[in-house]
Each structure stands twice: as structure tokens, then as C-alpha cells.
Amino acid sequence: MNYKKILEEIKIEVEPLIGIGKLADYIPELANINPNHFGIELRFIDGASYAVGDTNIPFSIQSISKVFTLTLAIKLIGNEVWKRVSVEPSGNAFNSLVQLEHENGIPRNPFINAGALVISDILISQLDHPKHQLLEFIKNISNNQNIDINKKVAQSEKENGYRNAALANMMKSFGNIKNDINEVLDLYFCMCSIEMTCSDLSEAFLLYCNHGILPKGNEEIISLSQTKRLNALMQTCGFYDEAGEFSFTVGLPGKSGVGGGIVAVLPGKFSIASWSPELNAKGNSVLSMKALELFTTKSGLSVF
Amino acid sequence: MNYKKILEEIKIEVEPLIGIGKLADYIPELANINPNHFGIELRFIDGASYAVGDTNIPFSIQSISKVFTLTLAIKLIGNEVWKRVSVEPSGNAFNSLVQLEHENGIPRNPFINAGALVISDILISQLDHPKHQLLEFIKNISNNQNIDINKKVAQSEKENGYRNAALANMMKSFGNIKNDINEVLDLYFCMCSIEMTCSDLSEAFLLYCNHGILPKGNEEIISLSQTKRLNALMQTCGFYDEAGEFSFTVGLPGKSGVGGGIVAVLPGKFSIASWSPELNAKGNSVLSMKALELFTTKSGLSVF
Amino acid sequence: MNYKKILEEIKIEVEPLIGIGKLADYIPELANINPNHFGIELRFIDGASYAVGDTNIPFSIQSISKVFTLTLAIKLIGNEVWKRVSVEPSGNAFNSLVQLEHENGIPRNPFINAGALVISDILISQLDHPKHQLLEFIKNISNNQNIDINKKVAQSEKENGYRNAALANMMKSFGNIKNDINEVLDLYFCMCSIEMTCSDLSEAFLLYCNHGILPKGNEEIISLSQTKRLNALMQTCGFYDEAGEFSFTVGLPGKSGVGGGIVAVLPGKFSIASWSPELNAKGNSVLSMKALELFTTKSGLSVF
Amino acid sequence: MNYKKILEEIKIEVEPLIGIGKLADYIPELANINPNHFGIELRFIDGASYAVGDTNIPFSIQSISKVFTLTLAIKLIGNEVWKRVSVEPSGNAFNSLVQLEHENGIPRNPFINAGALVISDILISQLDHPKHQLLEFIKNISNNQNIDINKKVAQSEKENGYRNAALANMMKSFGNIKNDINEVLDLYFCMCSIEMTCSDLSEAFLLYCNHGILPKGNEEIISLSQTKRLNALMQTCGFYDEAGEFSFTVGLPGKSGVGGGIVAVLPGKFSIASWSPELNAKGNSVLSMKALELFTTKSGLSVF
């Protein structure tokens, strides 16, 4: 198959959608981004990769970081993670407090904000320098030493993060946050503010297609069984309350962020990362959603 | 791989779990079943099949029927179905009224009871003899003319179906049931009371692994794209509020019923049906869940 | 105090509000009423009464009937009633299913629809001819033999009563409806369709100001303690999700109906009934609400 | 009537209930109180007062303070208060986040924790020295210069106040908290930690029986109309999710606190304060609830 040509066709087909979505507007750093960016990169386990558009411009990975922190937490404490956070789709918006109240402070899954806060708390308990060590971990799996936190974004997130502070306090009241709330929030806002390119993300996600092993160098990050779990979670919970729709139209496990990025994987085969800043009403990138749908249709490659 | 041997090992490993679960007890016909049954059948698109245990004893398919009625509805009216029922995981128990009230009578997905009632309503609008034609449809895809409704079970379901009557009335109040409520409930209870064997179910589900086409005879039931949608729905919504857990431990799209049956598919490869009557707290068969988990682990075959 | 003059002033002050509210529109019989009606009648225990406007035109009492059925149920089985229905404000719309689902089919109070359906069920269990005997009971306390059910309204209610059918089925699934659902709904729709005048209602409600005793003839209907309970319920739950607002602006126990009627009492002193068909967004009569507010302000008579 | 004798009878009748309830246990200062205390004081507008038991021992007034802060807020900004907090019963536990999430950060009423936090926020915006000025206000209406905050209790409240911090952050995310969250929480925890006696409380609540005017000295604190509103709120929302039960059994507007205190009023007549530390499952003092029920039964004095 001519993957380069498929990606180029996709770019032409999705670009007319620019203007339909809206930029995230809760912090100025996201609201002021040029909305015309679009990039898509496809990367196979065997090393082949295909890139079209803005695949080397770093953007705010936002919730995509939740996959990395969860991976690191699993690497550190294994299945102990699942005593603190559940694995079921939430059926609710990504920052809902209702469910926490009804379920004793145990978040529905690690990809809603509450769940990611618990994962932050775990990292703080396990690591001496959580922020630094998380960043080193991401640099390693992305094979790029230049990845960094955008401190201005982190600061803005913090100043507007009352809903996340509410979630953290709520879970603390149930005993499901062990460390100081400000420390937990600080790590959470930092991880959301990491900037990466489509190229970085497709590289990092190769481990989820490759049984938990980095193809370059063969380092095992997590076990095969743990990888299967992560992929299942991305399939059922990776797209806020649009998980069903994504599973439905794209058919791949993946994760999106309000920075406009989406990464997905076909286990055993490839990872694919797309970026375009404008979002639909559910907070997923309009162009990236469409691009991935077109890719699975045109290539015939999906899990279903 | 020696599939027969794998299935035999599985039987030995799951049988000690008999006694842990509980029989469905809301109608006498399910409460009085011999709890010691266990059967598992694996069937490949190419015709090969492997059976161990009670794979030729018919049992009440219950919610597994929701896959068949949805398939028939899609065959009849295509994407119009999705105007009447959504495609997102519910995050709630299978018969919740709460969501209906908050979402104007549109059920979260076609595999919760409310959604299946809407599908029944669609079949009644589209078919002259809905009960008969649904049964003919199932006989055809299962390649077995002896499949039938257990009328005693249907009657018991009806006598205990107040929750379903509440759901139907609720949706009628929002205009999302078009036909007479008693007719809708009658078809619903009949479809739940159909009896099939593991052998029948694995045969019928081959179409979901084979692009919507029956391998024997090459009849196209639904399109490739519609099949992908059905598989995505089974992946995210097929196991009540245990969808995440199943996706997590088994890694295959599938559907369970309170009769103790579970069917799953690996698209492009095989279907697998298991039956054992005792249920866990979420209403899924204890032995069948474990059997499928063991199968994907032992065979290494899963979507993730 | 010149009560007649106060009522006349009130009429002049509220009439400009005609046109602000909307007629109930879920059944044609309510949607086609002349919206210009307004009547108010004040009646003291000692026999004095003051009427202004359309106080002798019968209108659909709707939910005001819930006070009468509850009174009759208490008369028949006393405190046993409270095993089947709770006494707390619902904080939700009058026909919410959510609460029932979370609280095992026990309605929050007897003045929401679910609660009134349970009361209907109790009357059916206790009475040989529930419809007839309920009507006789209301005729007696109203001192008017001409009160009747509007059969056309009852039929329309039935044809549009899917939400109530959902509530009844839901409670039946929890075992909190003992009789046939259709019988329960039939009595419920009949009681809502009773027609009375402001004069009738102010007469009937005298018993709640007079320790449960009819002033004319001294018949004890319910005990002093039971009367206190009824008044407390009207205070906290009589106005759907506007109970707080009514308690706040009027300061009297009372009950409203979507026919546009409101009746209230000052225990130990008087009853007051007002009618005007146009409703606010919460389903309470715009003019009647304002009229009662003006009355307590002008007369200085309220419980607070 | 011999009020002294009635109160003495009540003491004898309620004391056998000691041991049925449980002390509040979320902070050590409340958990370690001697559970055998009981006091009750009745105070008439005309100056007469009757006291039995431990009516001069200060205890933690907790949520009773919400009446005082609301009164002060109304005194300062009048009806502007109702733009920030609603007046309807919540039908939910006193610290529910669910409602806030569904209703855009506007608390259901000023007596649930969320509502009281908004009132704290208003006081901070309006007062130069909110803590000091609130205390002066309470000293004035209680006619006792010795009333003070228990700083140890305030500190403990703070250390265990994650649920309240969640509420405050949640409302801040909706823009319904204007000041710094820590300042708002600090004032909130201080007001809950004020200690008063039954004698103080019955004195302070006289203003709610006397049209908003302090009987001693005739100072008008709030207007007649505002007083009516406060009494209506106490009637419908003063007892967490037991408001209906209290209205039902006691029939007086009032307010309870988890310190074991309850104060109630009969407008135009008297105030009555009772204290006993053991609580029922809803957080209301077992003996105080029973004492007030007995008082209205024995005296025949209630609003209904």
C-alpha cells in the first residue's frame, strides 16, 4: 500500500473542515494557537514511517499525557494501580464529580481527570523527583531528548484548575489521594503542559503496538499483559464521552487531548498520530478524528 | 496450534469455579437450571470448529439476542437506527432509567434494555410478522432450522418485566417508541427467550468476523462498514457495566446474556461461544468469562 | 380587617399578569381553556367567607386531588401509609424516575406523581369501589353533592400518561404497587380529572385548619396529629420544585395543580383558594401564586 | 401553662435515649465530648425564659452558625443574596457536589455547606474584618460578650475539610466564589467552631420570632419580610435531608448542627434551644429532636 499517498489524500480531504471546530479557550496559550495546523504521522514497528503536514511542530499534549503517566505507574507498582482507579467507561464528561461521590472516591478509569489525579498521586509516592523522572521517561520512549514542559501553559492551567482542585479534594476526603493536594495538582498540570510533535507521539506509542517493548533497543517498558490492558482502556475510555463514537468510526485504541492531538495504535502493526487544534463539542480534534477515520477506511486496517 | 487441547485445558481449569456464581433467579425457568453445565465452541471462518463440553444443549440466549435484532434492524433501515439510539457506553446498570430521563428518551446504546426495546419497536414498524421473521433470520444465520422461542420463559419474562415496561413507557413519553407498548414488550420478551446452543451461536457470529457475510453460501447480511460498527459496539458496550473489565481481560468484542452464554469474535478470524449458567454480581457467566480470558491468553489471539 | 376589599385589590393587582404564563398543553381539555379566568375565595373556620371573581366555575383540580387521596388513605390505614411513601422534599421535578431508582421504589413524598400512585394503590386495596367512594368523600368534605369527574379529561390524561405508567411499572418492579397497574393508573387519572370551584376547595380545606374536623357538623375526618403532618407536608412538598419559593413568598402550607388552582391554609384560622389557568415554568398558576403572596402581605397573616 | 414542668418532664422522657445515637467523629474535639449532656431552654419574646439541664455549657454550634451568617449577609446586601444561592430544599445530603454540577455552581439553599460557603464569600467581600465582625454580630444578638471561636475545633475542621474545599473549588470554577478559596474556607471553619450555650442560642433566635427586631433594646436587625424568608428557609431546609421529617414531627422552623444543638422558633411567640451531643444517622441530635417533638405535642404550640 502507498501510505504516503493515503496520508496526502487525507490531508486534502480534511483541510476543508478547518473553521468548523473551535480552539480550546480556557487558557490563553491554547486559545491563541494558529488554527490552520494539520499534521499526521504513521509509524510501523519495523521502523518505516510516513509524515504529512506539520508533524515536527510541538503542541500541548494535554490528556494524551495520561497514557504516559499510567504506563509509568504500572511500570512502578503493577496491578496495585487498579486498587485506586477502576477500568470502566464513565459515560460522563471527563471531569465529572458525580461519579466520584457515588463511588467512594474511586475514579471510573485512569483517563478521566479524576483518575489521572490519582495516577499523579501514585507517581509522587513512588518517585523522588516525579516531574523530572516523568519527563525522562517520556524522552526515553519518544527517543527525543528535547521534549519539555511549557511552563507558561502549566501556570495557566493551574490558575484555571478549580475543577481539578475540586476533584482532588473530593478524593482526598475519601482517602484516595495520599500526598499534598497542591503537589498532586502541580504534577498534573505539568504533565498536561508537555509539548510533543506528531513524530514524537507516534514514536512513543510504538511500545503499545509492540507488546510493551521499545522497537529501537528492545527495552521492555511494561509486560505484554499490561500492554493489552492499556490498549483495552484506550479503546473503551480514550475519548471522553465520545469513546463509543471513536471506537465506532475509527476502530483503533487511542487517546485524544484538547491540544488537538490524537494518537492511535493497531496492536502488532503501527501507531498513528494526528494534530489539528480545532475541537468538536466533545473536546476532540475535528480534523484528527476525521483523518483517522479516513485512514482506517482507506487502508482497511482496524481491529474490527 | 492445538485448539482442541487448549479448550480441554480450559474446561479443566474453569470447572472448579462452579459454585462461586449464582443462577439468575428472577424467573423460575432460569433459577431451576442445572448449574453444572459448561460448554465452549471455537469456529473459524474457514469452517474448522472445535467443541468441548455441553455445546449442543440449547439455553436461553437472553441479551445475546440484542445483537441479532440490532443486525436485523440495520439490515432493514441502515444508519437510520442511530437516530433512535446512541452508541456510547452507559456506565450504568443495564436497565437504568436515569439516563433516559436526562437524555430525552434516547438510550445510550442498543445493548442496554432500553436500546433493545427501541430496536424491537423498529422491527415492529418494518416487519409484517416480526416474531416469525426475526426467528427465520436467526435460523438462517445459525444454519439451524430447529431454533425456537421457549414460550414458558417468554411468559415468565413478561410477568416479571415491570422494569422493562417502565423503560418502554418512559421512552414512549419522549416519543421514542412508535408502536403499542405491549407489542414492543411482547417481541422483546420473545427474543430474550430464544434458545440456542454454543454451536448455533458460534455459527451465527461468524458473520461478524467475516465482513457481514455468511461464510457458508456467501450471503451478505450487512455491509463491511456496518459490521465494523457492530463489533465496536460489542467491544465497548457488550458486557453491561463490566464492558471495561471484559475488554481488559479478554480483548475481544462480544456479548453476554443472563442465561450464562457469552459469544465473542476476533474479526477476520474466528468466533467463540461459551455457556455456563452461574453468574457473577454483574450478571455475566463466571465460567464463560474465565474461559474466554484463558483462551486469549493461551492462544495469544486478541485484538490488542 | 376588610377582607373583601383586600381580595378586590388583589384581583386588580394580579389581572395585568394575564398573558405572562402559559396554559398546560399536554391535553386538549386544558390547552383550550379561557385564560382570562381569575377567582379567589377566603373562608374562615367560623363560617365567614369572602369571594371575588370566578369562584363558582369548576376547573380541573389535578394535583390538588393528591391532598384528598392522601387524607382518605390516612383515614383508612393511618401511619401505615408512611411505610410505602416518604415525607421528604424531592428537590426534583414532580415526575422524576431517578429518585425511585436510587431509593428502591419508595417515592420521596405523597405529592409527587409517584407518591400519589402509591396512594391510589392503597385506596384500591382498601375500598370496594375506590372511584365512587373517593368521590363521595370529596363531596362530603366539600359540602357539595354536584362534584364530579370530567371523563373527557380523564380519558385524555390516560392517553398521554406514559410517564405515569413508567413510574407505576418502576414501583411495581420494586414491589411497591400491589394491584394491577392499569387499575392504579385509572384511579389516578380520574382523581386528577375531578372538577371543583374555588368555593368547593376552600370549603374542603377547612378541615386542615380545624384539627381534622369539618366545622359544619363537627365530623372528625383525621386526627389532630395527622392534620399537623398533612400541613407540614403541604408546607415542604406542596409546590413541586418551587416549594421553597412558595414557602418563602407566601408562608402558608398549600397545594397547587396544573389546572391553575392553588389552595392554602393558616392552621387554626382560614383556608384560601385561588384559580387562574396560566402557569409559570414550574407548573404553578402565575396569578394564583401572586394573589396568595399579596394576601399574606396585605393581611399580615402567615405562619412565619 | 407550666412550661418549667413540661421541660422537666421532657428531660425525664428523653434521657433514656442516651446511647442510641453516635457522637460526630470526623474531628477529635467532637468525638471526645461527654455524651450524657442534655439541656433545653425556652424563651418568650416578652422576656420569660425556662431552662432545664445543661443550658449554660457552651458547645460547638456548627451548622446553626449558617443562620447567623445568612442573617448578616442579608443585613448587608439584602436580596442580592438570592442571586448567588437558591431557596429550594436539596433533597440530598448536606454536602452534595452533584447538584452543584447540574446547576452551574448555584447551591440549592444557604443551609447546605455549599450555600454557606457562598455566604462566607459574600461576608468576605462586604466586611473589612469578617471573622471579628461576624463574632461581634453574634455577641450582640445573643446579648453575651463572652462568645468565642474554639480555635482547636476550627483547626481540626480545616484539617478534615477536603469535602468543603471540593465544594468551594467547584463553585469557583463556575465563578460563584469571588475571593481566595483559603480565605473563604477559613471563615467557614471559624463560624462552625463558635461555641454557644442553649441560653445564648434561645436569646439570639428571638429576633426570628420578633419580626427581625431584638426584643431587648428594639434594634432592627433585618426587616419583617426578610425574617419571614429566613423562617421559611429554616422550615424547608433546616435539617439536612430530614427537613420533611422535622417539619412533620415538630412543626416549627429551626436549624440543627452536628454539635448536637437544635434551635427552633414559633414566630410571634418563642424560641427554644436544645442540646445533646449524640446524633442520628442524618446528623441531627437524637435527644434534641425528640425533646422538641415532645414540646410541641405537650404545649400544643406549633405552626400547623
Each residue's pLDDT tens digit, A224-248: 989 999 999 999 888 877 878 888 8
CA distance A213 to chain B (A): 14
Cβ–Cβ contact D108 with C under 8 A = yes
Q: Measured between alpha carbons, how far is D253 from D149 in angstroms, rounded to an integer?
A: 26
Q: What share of chain B in percent tops pLDDT 70?
A: 97
For cell 431508582, name the residue.
C101
Of D92, D227, D236, which is closest to C244 when you measure between CB atoms?
A: D236
The contacts found for B130-134 with CB under 8 angstroms, 24 or more apart, are: B130/B187, B131/B186, B131/B187, B131/B190, B134/B68, B134/B69, B134/B72, B134/B187, B134/B190, B134/B191
Q: What is the CATH number of the domain that holds C200?
A: 3.40.710.10
CA distance D270 to chain C (A): 12
Position B303 in a domain:
no
**φ and ψ of D254, to 5 deg:** -165, 180
Is-contact D207 D141, C-beta < 8 A? yes
**Mean pLDDT (chain A, rounded):** 94
Using the predicted structure, report yes or no on whether residue A90 has a pLDDT greater than 90.
no
Of A97, A168, A169, which is closest to D101 when you measure between CB atoms?
A: A97
E strands along A4-122, which residues?
A: 39-44, 49-53, 59-60
- CA-based radius of gyration for chain A: 18
Where is average pLDDT lowest: A78-92, C128-142, D217-231? Answer: A78-92
* Nearest residue to C263 (alpha-carbon basis) of C189, C211, C227, C209: C209
Please give the residue range of the domain that contains residue A113.
3-298
Residue contact C167–B166, C-beta within 8 A: yes
More confident residue, A183 or C229: A183
- pLDDT score recorded for residue D123: 98
* Nearest residue to C13 (alpha-carbon basis) of C56, C52, C55: C52
User: How sure is the predictor about A249, in pLDDT bands with cuts at 50, 70 and 90?
Assistant: confident
Cβ–Cβ contact D302 with C under 8 A = yes
- pLDDT score recorded for residue A60: 98
User: Total structural domains in chain B?
Assistant: 1
**Mean pLDDT (chain D, rounded):** 94
Of C243, C267, C297, which is closest to D89 when you measure between CB atoms?
A: C243
Q: Measured between alpha carbons, how far is A42 from A299 in angstroms, rounded to an integer?
A: 12
A contacts of D172 (beta carbons < 8 Å):
162
For cell 433467579, name the residue.
B25
Using the predicted structure, report yes or no on whether residue C94 has a pLDDT greater than 70.
no
* Nearest residue to B138 (alpha-carbon basis) of B209, B198, B67, B41: B67
User: How sure is the predictor about B101, in pLDDT bands with cuts at 50, 70 and 90?
Assistant: confident
Residue contact A241–B88, C-beta within 8 A: yes
> pLDDT tens digit string along C20-60?
999 999 999 999 999 999 999 999 999 999 999 999 999 99
Instruction: Name the A residues in 248-277 with CB < 8 Å from any B CB.
Output: 248, 251, 253, 267
Of C96, C101, C165, which is closest to B169 when you measure between CB atoms?
A: C165
User: How sure is the predictor about B91, in pLDDT bands with cuts at 50, 70 and 90?
Assistant: low
Q: What is the 3-state secondary structure (H, E, C) of C134-162?
A: HHHHHHHHHCCCCCEECHHHHHHHHHCCH
Position C154 in a domain:
yes
Where helices occur in chain D by DSSP H, the ranges are: 3-14, 28-31, 65-77, 98-102, 113-126, 130-142, 151-159, 162-173, 181-192, 198-204, 206-209, 224-237, 243-249, 286-299
Residue contact B166–C163, C-beta within 8 A: no
Q: Measured between alpha carbons, how far is B89 from B82 in angstroms, rounded to an integer?
A: 14
B contacts of C114 (beta carbons < 8 Å):
none
User: How sure is the predictor about C239, in pLDDT bands with cuts at 50, 70 and 90?
Assistant: confident
**φ and ψ of D26, to 5 deg:** -80, -15
First to last CA, chain D: 19
Chains in touch with D (≥3 Cβ pairs < 8 A):
A, C
ipTM: 0.88
Position B175 in a domain:
yes
Segment C194-207 mean pLDDT? 98
Of C97, C162, C170, which is closest to B172 when you measure between CB atoms?
A: C162
- pLDDT score recorded for residue A95: 56
- Enter the C-alpha cell of residue A299: 487502508
10 Å Cβ neighbour count for A92?
17
Residues 6 or more apart in contact with residue D217 via CB below 8 angstroms: none
Cβ–Cβ contact D104 with A under 8 A = no
* Nearest residue to D212 (alpha-carbon basis) of D85, D87, D72: D72
Segment B230-255 mean pLDDT? 87
D contacts of C231 (beta carbons < 8 Å):
251, 304
- pLDDT score recorded for residue A92: 60
Position A158 in a domain:
yes
Give the number of B-C residue pairs with CB atoms closer than 8 Å: 51
Segment D85-92 mean pLDDT? 79
Position B304 in a domain:
no
Q: Measured between alpha carbons, how far is D191 from D111 in angstroms, rounded to an integer?
A: 13
Residue contact C166–B167, C-beta within 8 A: yes
B contacts of C94 (beta carbons < 8 Å):
none
Position B52 in a domain:
yes
Is-contact C154 C84, C-beta < 8 A? no
Is-contact D20 D278, C-beta < 8 A? yes
Using the predicted structure, report yes or no on whether residue B100 has a pLDDT greater than 90.
no
Position A304 in a domain:
no
3-state SS, residue D51: strand
- The secondary structure of residue B59, as a DSSP letter, is E
Position D304 in a domain:
no
Q: Measured between alpha carbons, how far is C168 from C180 in angstroms, rounded to an integer?
A: 10
* Nearest residue to A76 (alpha-carbon basis) of A134, A24, A34: A134
- pLDDT score recorded for residue D95: 56
